[in-house]
A and B are shown apart, each in its own frame.
Chain A
């Protein structure tokens, strides 16, 4: 069974304090790994897709990386507006367009 585990469940940072969120996965064949950001009361907003080990994507203070077992979302010098829940999801080879989501990491950045 495909599994996606995110850690930590919650993370408190001071503004400017860089850190990383982890998404580890156990799947039969990875077709793509997706990162989303979700603000309270809103739907998930797409951030990145990663397809193969070694791939990296960047957007402002966020950088996503991928290995054969896990993905990291690195947050450099975060600001309070980066506070949100970050979701990781995988798409596997034999599951069409279906995604399997992790439980999310709730990030709080204090000024």
Chain B
């Protein structure tokens, strides 16, 4: 079974802080993704990566950056957190011709 682990289930941070969300997968998948999920807006893709040190912008990359130094780990960085970044953040990974598998999410609150 694919396991995608997100480091925190709940996180509370202050406006202006630099925030790191971590995601680890144990299946040697090439592709990893970061989404945010908001009521009424569904899942929206922030960034994805198809290989180590490679990244591509998704639909809503503004205010975020990512890091993929090792194949199994994909980090989402909020450079200067703002209240409109309060959301549920979901990480996913996939291999070639397989569906995306998701972690259980990090519920982030920015105060």
Q: What is A's interface to B at a CB cutoff of 8 Å?
A: 34, 36, 41-46, 49, 87, 89, 96-99, 101-104
Does B43 make an interface contact (CB < 8 A)? yes
**Contact A99/B50 with A43-B4, A104-B42 known, Cβ cut-off 8 Å:** no
Main secondary structure of the interface of B (DSSP, over half): strand
Question: Which residue of A44, A45, A97, A102 is within 8 Å of B94 (Cβ)?
Answer: A97
Q: A43-B4, A87-B43, A98-B45 are in contact. List 18 more A-B contacts (CB 8 A).
A: A34-B99, A41-B104, A42-B104, A43-B90, A43-B102, A43-B105, A45-B102, A46-B99, A46-B100, A89-B43, A97-B50, A97-B100, A98-B48, A101-B43, A101-B44, A102-B42, A103-B41, A103-B42
Contacting pair B105 A98 (CB below 8 A):
no
Number of A-B residue pairs at CB separation under 8 A: 47
Which residues of the other chain, A, contact B42 by a CB distance below 8 angstroms? 87, 101-104
* Residue of B whose beta carbon sits closest to that of A99: B100
Q: Mark B36-66, 1 if CB is under 8 A from A, else 0.
A: 0000111111001010000010100000000
Please, how many residues of chain B have a CB less than 8 angstroms from a CB on the other chain? 23
Which residues of the other chain, A, contact B105 by a CB distance below 8 angstroms? 41-43
Shortest 4 CB-CB distances between A and B: which pairs? A43-B102, A101-B43, A103-B42, A46-B99
A59 → B minimal CB distance (Å): 13
Does B68 make an interface contact (CB < 8 A)? no
* Residue of B whose beta carbon sits closest to that of A88: B42
Which residues of the other chain, A, contact B94 by a CB distance below 8 angstroms? 97
How many angstroms between the C-alpha atoms of A96 and B30 in the bound complex? 13
A49 → B minimal CB distance (Å): 6
Which residues of the other chain, A, contact B33 by a CB distance below 8 angstroms? 97
The 27 listed contacts between A and B (C-beta, < 8 Å) are A34-B99, A34-B100, A36-B102, A41-B104, A42-B104, A42-B105, A43-B4, A43-B102, A44-B43, A44-B90, A44-B102, A46-B101, A49-B99, A89-B43, A96-B50, A96-B56, A97-B33, A97-B48, A97-B50, A97-B100, A98-B48, A99-B43, A99-B100, A101-B43, A101-B44, A102-B42, A103-B40
